[in-house]
């Protein structure tokens, strides 16, 4: 019985109809649970939705916990101790905890309700378990970890250098070093909000150079991810064949 439950709650194989239905159902529940977050006003229907979704998430969490030995291929009690500390189990638990303020009135006395409400957004990460496309993207990031870290380090160094240059070239336009870092980040991503900007000719030249190099730095991770994604798609097709 537990083996059957494990096969259903785990990500579906192409030939497991029950598991596929369960995956689509859980994705629907996750999306449904996020709808109340889009509204400032609390409606009774939203309270019902949150209660129902929370109960479903709790059941899902418990089903995965009681079948942890199949997940880790270890029949000892270590599997059941290990599971709650796994990354996805922690995300599952964090997505459930905010709803306890609704399931139990005792939690309403806490002043962190607003923070708990915001934590419900973590339910989005639960979809990582059910969506094959998201699993492919996650695989891309794992395999491209080293080049992405290199590009990220390059971007960080570039931001710091640009901030140091601009705050010395035009100190009157920036109240502190954090403002300079904010400006350098915005320039790097070519967003250009316009709330902080240089007014001298030399400062504007630095901004133009920063934006031009920023385009190249931003393009690097996009190319790495695209190449990795296409490779994963091809591998997925080969596996299906």
Asked if residue 112 has pLDDT above 50, the reply is no
Question: Residue range 83-94: average pLDDT?
Answer: 83
The closest alpha carbon to 50, from 108, 120, 119, belongs to 120
Note if the pTM is more than 0.85: no
pLDDT at 238: 62
**Predicted confidence band at 110 (pLDDT cuts at 50, 70, 90)?**
very low
Cα–Cα distances in angstroms (integers) from residue 85 to residues 10, 98, 144, 147, in the given order: 17, 19, 25, 29
Let me know how long the chain is.
241
HSE, side-chain direction, 13 A CA sphere, residue 185: 8
Average confidence (pLDDT) over 156-181: 87
> What does the pLDDT read at residue 124?
66
Q: Residue 189 pLDDT > 50, yes or no?
A: yes
Please list, residue by residue across 133-152, b when 16 or more beta carbons sit within 10 angstroms of its beta carbon and e when fewer do. eeebeebbeeebeebbeebe
At 24 the pLDDT is 82
Q: Is the pLDDT of residue 187 over 50?
A: yes
pLDDT: which is higher, 123 or 229: 229
The helix/strand/coil state of 11 is coil
Q: What domains can you pick out in the chain, each with its CATH number?
A: 2-130 (1.20.120), 145-240 (1.10.287.70)
């Amino acid at each position: 019985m537990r083996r059957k439950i494990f096969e259903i709650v785990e990500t579906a194989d192409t030939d497991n109809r029950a598991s596929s239905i369960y995956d689509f159902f859980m994705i629907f529940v996750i999306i449904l649970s996020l709808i109340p977050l889009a509204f400032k006003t609390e409606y009774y229907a939203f309270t019902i939705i949150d209660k129902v979704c929370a109960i479903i998430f709790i059941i899902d969490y418990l089903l995965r916990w009681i079948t942890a030995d199949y997940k880790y291929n270890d029949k000892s009690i270590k599997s059941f101790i290990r599971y709650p500390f796994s990354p996805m189990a922690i995300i599952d638990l964090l997505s459930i905890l905010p709803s306890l303020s609704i399931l139990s009135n005792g939690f309403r006395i806490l002043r962190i309700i607003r923070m708990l409400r915001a934590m419900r957004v973590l339910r989005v990460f639960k979809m990582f378990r059910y969506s094959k496309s998201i699993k492919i993207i996650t695989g891309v990031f794992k395999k491209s970890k080293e080049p992405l870290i290199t590009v990220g380090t390059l971007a960080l160094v570039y931001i710091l250098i640009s901030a140091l240059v601009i705050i010395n070239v035009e100190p009157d336009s920036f109240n502190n070093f954090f403002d300079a870092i904010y400006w350098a980040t915005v320039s790097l991503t070519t967003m250009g909000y316009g709330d902080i900007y240089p007014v001298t000719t030399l400062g504007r030249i630095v901004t133009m150079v920063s934006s031009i190099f920023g385009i190249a730095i931003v393009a690097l991770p996009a190319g790495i991810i695209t190449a990795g994604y296409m490779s994963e798609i091809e591998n997925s097709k080969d596996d299906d064949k």
